[in-house]
Structure 1
């Protein structure tokens, strides 16, 4: 089961480009997601929309999914692109139709929603062949940034969860402090 959510009173920290891009650049995210200009994707744990804004120019629509209305308020204050819709929801109970999404991504939030129910819900809402990009703090990392290491998962943990949840693994990479796992819905 996932751990606590990010404290929305610190939402301004999520807009620090130098810090955020240190662990995941815009180019890496967009390149890994492989979007088309007509794709419908979801940003899982979107927060203030930092990475949502990076993906929005490359797709038809982005659903910015977060469990905290306060994060959506911070995003509204910043300005939401016209092709982004804010959705307040837990990943384990997404308000989307089956096969509605072409792709989904999570940047540094998998540890907050990790569960069999969330993986099952993603497999339901992503179309067959849809891409799920998960980038998060690794339990194998030194813990210099991000949540405590005991609240993190390894890339291997994520690979196992996705494999059990009807995803084929496309990529699984562990870096110094983070991992990248890409699953394709079978």
Structure 2
């Protein structure tokens, strides 16, 4: 499958049910890396605009670069009211942005889809001198009894979960991407609370899970309902995340 099209049929669930990023991420980048709100950012692999919104709400100008038009249209629908928002149909390997046009490149929950070598060259091209690159993930924790059971469900029903989850996102891959310069990692706590319908949407937002018209979907949802009934508290369950932020310069 063309990775840029993996989320074609998941846009609404992705926008509604994927976790936001903590506001502390922005404060950290401002204080530790000098990313003041007068800077211009490229959010590469912006998707439906979850990471873009984090920075727009903090006053930044953001070019949301996304190759999937369905996701980009959702970002425009959601974020078009911000004067600093600019939608760009481009990819990590070919953003279409002008050379030396941005102060930072951001990639939220996206770098594992990129061609690392080609995207590094492209980021170096569009970054202004002294600009930084920031890779962000919400890593779902597997700590509580529900989270352990939910992980087992995903492994049982996911189509290519292991392959997708382990591409380009360990520290060795990330350090190699920034080499020979150093990269710094900071982490933050994050989480979501779901009722049953929200949890179904969260599960369906993942590209490796069956869609409603595909084999295995009905059984997956039955298993999810069983899990929800077993672990719910006051009608909801919680999924916790560790938000990891990798920041550094590429030149």
| TM-score, normalised relative to structure 2 | 0.60
State the 1:14 CA deviation.
Answer: 2.8
CA distance in 2, matches of 1:137, 1:57: 19
Moved over 4 A (4+): 173-179
Deviation at 1:177, TM superposition (A): 6.7
Say if 2:79 and 2:85, in contact at 8 Å, map to a contact too.
no
1:155 touches 1:179 (CA, 8 Å); kept in 2? no
Q: Counterpart of 1:74?
A: 74
5 Å matches for 1:36-185? 36-80=36-80, 81-136=82-137, 144=151, 148-151=161-164, 152-153=167-168, 154-163=170-179, 168-172=181-185, 179-185=244-250
Structure with more relative contact order (C-alpha pairs < 8 Å, separation 6 or more): 2
Query: CA 1:174–1:157 in 2, change beyond 3 Å: closer, same or farther?
Result: farther
**1:41-68 deviations in whole A, cap 9, x for unaligned?**
0111111112211201334410001001
Moved more, 114-123 or 171-180: 171-180
So what's the TM-score if we normalise by structure 1? 0.78
SS at match of 2:9: helix
Which stretches in structure 2 are left out of the alignment for 5+ residues?
143-147, 189-240
Judge conservation of contact 2:48–2:72 (CA < 8 Å) in 1: yes
Deviation at 1:179, TM superposition (A): 4.3
CA shift at 1:12, angstroms? 2.1
Partner SS state of residue 156, structure 1: helix
Q: Which has the larger radius of gyration?
A: 2
| Cα distance in 1 for residues equivalent to 2:89 and 2:83 | 17
Residue 103 of structure 1: how far off its partner (Å): 0.6
Q: Is 1:8 matched with 2:5? A: no
| CA shift for structure 1 position 170 | 3.7
Counterpart of 1:82 in 2: which secondary structure?
coil
Q: Secondary structure at the match of 1:58?
A: coil
Of the structure 1 ranges 124-133 and 31-40, higher mean CA displacement relative to structure 2 is found in: 31-40
Counting matched residue pairs gives 175
- Residue 106 (structure 1) shift: 0.8
Q: Which runs of 5+ in 1 are unaligned?
A: none
